[in-house]
Each structure stands twice: as C-alpha cells, then as structure tokens.
Chains A and B, each alone.
Chain A
Amino acid sequence: MAKRELQEINAGSMADIAFLLLIFFLVTTTMDKDTAFIRNIPKKITVTDPVKVEERNILAIKANNQNQLMVRGEIFNDPNKISEFVVKFYRTNERENDPSNNFPMYSTATMELINSQLEDFDRKIEDAENAGSPKEMIEFLNNSYKEWDKKKRALALLGGSQLREISGQAHVRIEVQQATEYSIFAKIQTEIEEALYELRDEKSMQLWGTSYGVLKRKVATEQDKARDEKAKIELLEILYPQRIIEVKPKK
C-alpha cells in the first residue's frame, strides 16, 4: 500500500468561527455610557436672614407623594409640557420688560457699565487686601470680578452695544416630597435641560449658524483646542443660565 501523504487540516473555516465569536461579542456587549445630570450642592452656611426673592423670579416645579406635578400653582398632567413653560419663563421679557406679567425681568449691561464695574471691583479687592479682610470676603470679590470679566468677553463676542441678562435671582426651583419617585425628579431635571438646550440652540443657530450640540461635542472631543467654541458656550450660558434650586423635602 502506498504511503499516503499526511493531509493538512483545512483551516479555512477558522476565520468563520472567529467571525462568529466576534459578532457574538459585538452584539452582546453594550457600550453603556454613564450619563447623569451634574448639579452643584450649595455650600453649607447658616443664613440669619434670607434674601427675599420676588415671586416673578421663581419657577417652582412641585411633585407630591402621589407623583402629581404642579408648576407655579397649576396642576400639570403632562410632564412633557414643563420644558415649554421653562422656555416661556426665560423668553417672556427677553426683548422688552413688561412689569405687568409675572416673569423675571431682564437687565441691560453696556460695555461702559461692565468696564466701570471691573474697575470698581479691582479697587475693592485691593482695598480689602490692604485692610486684611477675611478670606471669604476677598474670595467673594474675586468671584464677582470674574463674573464681570466673563460678561465683558461675552459682550465682545456677541457684538452690539448691550447684553440683555435675566435677573440674577431668576431660578427654577424643584420641590419634591419624601416619597416622590426618583423618575419624576429625573423627569423634571430632563425637562429643564431640554428647555435650556432649546434656548441655547436657537440662539446659537441665530448667531453663528451652528447648533449648540455641535459646539458641546467639539469642546468635549478637542478640549482646550476648541477655544472659540468654549467662548461661544460661555456666552450662551450667560444668556440662558442654568439656575436650579433643589429644595429638601419636608414631608
């Protein structure tokens, strides 16, 4: 009998097997991103007499133990409508102040005002340092200075002669109760984010023809290189600031 040549194993299907495995892993692993709403907790301080906030500057969104919603004293059956209301809160007096409605007023800042404020704070910081004022005081003054400096850059970027700004007291207030479901709380946060996104996006389209989402993504991917985008976002955040107060539930 002739000696048969040892046959090589056909490895052609190995690739198919490996492909199968690959596809299996691709399908089963979910690239779950962790997404969340990042919020600041106010510093713990003891307030002796709280500042009175005008009613027009508060947008109270309440949810009770039965998960029912109330926005500014009105019962809301459709939680998806909250964002519309938030947009209205920012928009109503944006162009012109009308004291007869119950929405926050806007103030107008001109370049002269900003410059004089900057000088003013510069002097105050110097005085405070010379007088040896407490650290908190100097920090506060420094922060105020930075705020005005931001406004200066914002106005320079915006062009024109004035910067319309929503009242510094204007804020959205989330009031939930002990047993309100977390999903309701998250829904309210979502609606506020949606409203701010809508406002900023529209402004961004109007000013530069790019969407706010594109700006955000650019900053996220290129970080420090995207300087223009960062400045643009800073401006949008000054025009439509995100101010949320979460009230600790009592019952």
Chain B
Amino acid sequence: MSKFKKGGGRSMPGVNTSSLPDIVFMLLFFFMVATTSKEVDPTVQVDAPVGARATDLTPYKQRSEVDFLYLGKPRNPARADDFKMGFALSLDNVVQPTADGLYTTNAVGQWKKDKFDQKPARMTAPIESVITCVKADKSAPSGLIFDIRKELQEVNALTIAYAVRDNTNI
C-alpha cells in the first residue's frame, strides 16, 4: 500500500473563476464611466503651452464655477485668413463671426452673462468670482487675450484663468 495515490482518486477542485470576467468587466465599466474626455471637442485647434505651478481647476469644475472659451487656429487652414491674425474664438463650439467675417470678441460679454444666468440654482458664487478659463493656443497673440479680458471686465466677470498644460505635480 503506497501512501501516495497516483491519479484516480479525488483531485483538488480548481477555484471557480467563472465570476472573474464579471469583476473585470465591472472594473472596465468603472473606468469607462469615471474617466471623462473633454466635455467638448473644440472647433478650433488648441495646443496649450507648458506651464508649472498652475492651479488645478477640477474643484471649480465640480462646482461648475468655470466657463471655458477657446482661442486657436481654425481646423480648416483655408479659413485662417478669415480671422484676425489667423485665430478664431470659439464660444460653446460656435466660432464667432462678425458681419464682415472677421474675428471678434464682442460676443464674449453677452456669452458670459448668459452662461452665468444658466448656472444651477445651487451655485451661489457671484459673477465676479466665476472663473472664465481662456484656453489659448501657444502661438496665439496675447493682444487677443487682452481683448477678451477687457470684454470680461465690462461685464464685471473679474476672475480669469490662463490655461496651460502642467506636467508637474504639486
């Protein structure tokens, strides 16, 4: 009689892994839902400049205390000549034209006011402290940014944010 039986007898039952796919799928869905891409795909091309020690806007986004506007090159290069210095301003994915088809910032003030009026009722921050984040292309002329700044000053929206790509961690 041998102590060790070979084959035949009872073998160790394998761990039931049939629920593993479910677990992994759950993880998968979690990541698919939790990671969000940009809320809009801007109609203009924006390649943000690199910066450091910038402030993370996530908490403001969660409280919807920030509005984004984009300043970049139009996606269609042929249209670049239609805009002042070749840069177009996109507000809520609408590239702002003027009567003569040229670039304008005149709509910024009204846009900001409308945005502010549409904010959810739970938001109590006054218009002065609601951030307007300018996402500008790195080669955008600063003059245009100051035009936007002036428009915001007119409607008393006194907090501006200059978007940069910050690769460093705090």
Task: Give me the interface of A with B, judged by CB distance under 8 Å.
Answer: 11-12, 14-15, 17-19, 21-22, 25-26, 29, 31-44, 63, 176-187, 189-190, 193-194, 197, 213, 216-217, 220, 246, 248-249
Q: Decide: A248 near B146, CB < 8 A? Known: A29-B37, A33-B56, A36-B57.
A: yes
- Determine the interface band of chain B, counting residues with CB < 8 A from chain A: 35 or more
Candidates B21, B138, B145; contact of A11 at CB < 8 Å: B21
Which residues on A sit within 8 Å (CB–CB) of B161? Answer: 36-39
Instruction: Please determine whether A35 and B21 come into contact, CB atoms closer than 8 angstroms.
Output: no
Interface residues of B in 52-105 (CB under 8 A from A): 52-59, 61, 66, 68, 71, 85
Shortest CB-to-CB span from A19 to chain B, Å, is: 6
Which residues on B sit within 8 Å (CB–CB) of A25? Answer: 28, 31-32, 35
Candidates A33, A36, A41; contact of B152 at CB < 8 Å: A41
Q: Decide: A181 near B138, CB < 8 A? Known: A18-B28, A37-B162.
A: yes
Which residues on A sit within 8 Å (CB–CB) of B162? Answer: 36-37, 39, 182, 185-186, 189
- 10 nearest A-B residue pairs (beta carbon): A178-B143, A36-B161, A183-B49, A18-B24, A183-B138, A193-B53, A35-B166, A14-B21, A35-B54, A15-B20
Instruction: Please determine whether A220 and B53 come into contact, CB atoms closer than 8 angstroms.
Output: no
Pick the interface stretch among B3-11, B113-121, B129-137.
Answer: B129-137
Q: What is the bound-complex CA distance between A220 and B68, given in angstroms?
A: 22
Instruction: Please determine whether B54 and A22 come into contact, CB atoms closer than 8 angstroms.
Output: no
Q: Which of A11, A36, A197 has the most CB of B within 10 A?
A: A36
Which residues on A sit within 8 Å (CB–CB) of B21? Answer: 11, 14-15, 17-18
Shortest CB-to-CB span from A199 to chain B, Å, is: 12
Q: Decide: A15 near B139, CB < 8 A? Known: A35-B163, A36-B162, A186-B51.
A: no
Q: What is the bound-complex CA distance between A186 and B47, given in angstroms?
A: 13
Instruction: Please determine whether A220 and B56 come into contact, CB atoms closer than 8 angstroms.
Output: yes
Q: Decide: A193 near B52, CB < 8 A? Known: A11-B18, A185-B145.
A: yes
Instruction: Please determine whether A182 and B153 come into contact, CB atoms closer than 8 angstroms.
Output: no
Instruction: Please determine whether A177 and B143 come into contact, CB atoms closer than 8 angstroms.
Output: yes
Shortest CB-to-CB span from B42 to chain A, Å, is: 13
Q: Is B2 an interface residue (CB 8 A)?
A: no
Known contacts A22-B27, A29-B35; can you find 19 more A-B pairs with CB under 8 A? A14-B20, A17-B21, A22-B24, A34-B66, A35-B164, A39-B161, A41-B149, A41-B158, A41-B159, A41-B160, A44-B154, A63-B142, A176-B146, A180-B141, A182-B145, A183-B49, A189-B51, A246-B149, A248-B150
Which residues on B sit within 8 Å (CB–CB) of A31? Answer: 35
Q: What is the bound-complex CA distance between A87 and B49, given in angstroms?
A: 24
Instruction: Please determine whether B142 and A34 come into contact, CB atoms closer than 8 angstroms.
Output: no
Q: Which of A11, A182, A213 has the most CB of B within 10 A?
A: A182
Instruction: Please determine whether A190 and B133 come into contact, CB atoms closer than 8 angstroms.
Output: no
Instruction: Please determine whether B49 and A36 come into contact, CB atoms closer than 8 angstroms.
Output: no
Q: What is the bound-complex CA distance between A248 and B152, given in angstroms?
A: 13
Instruction: Please determine whether A36 and B164 come into contact, CB atoms closer than 8 angstroms.
Output: yes
Instruction: Please determine whether B160 and A21 come into contact, CB atoms closer than 8 angstroms.
Output: no
Q: What is the bound-complex CA distance between A34 and B131, given in angstroms?
A: 13
Which residues on A sit within 8 Å (CB–CB) of B149? Answer: 41, 246, 248
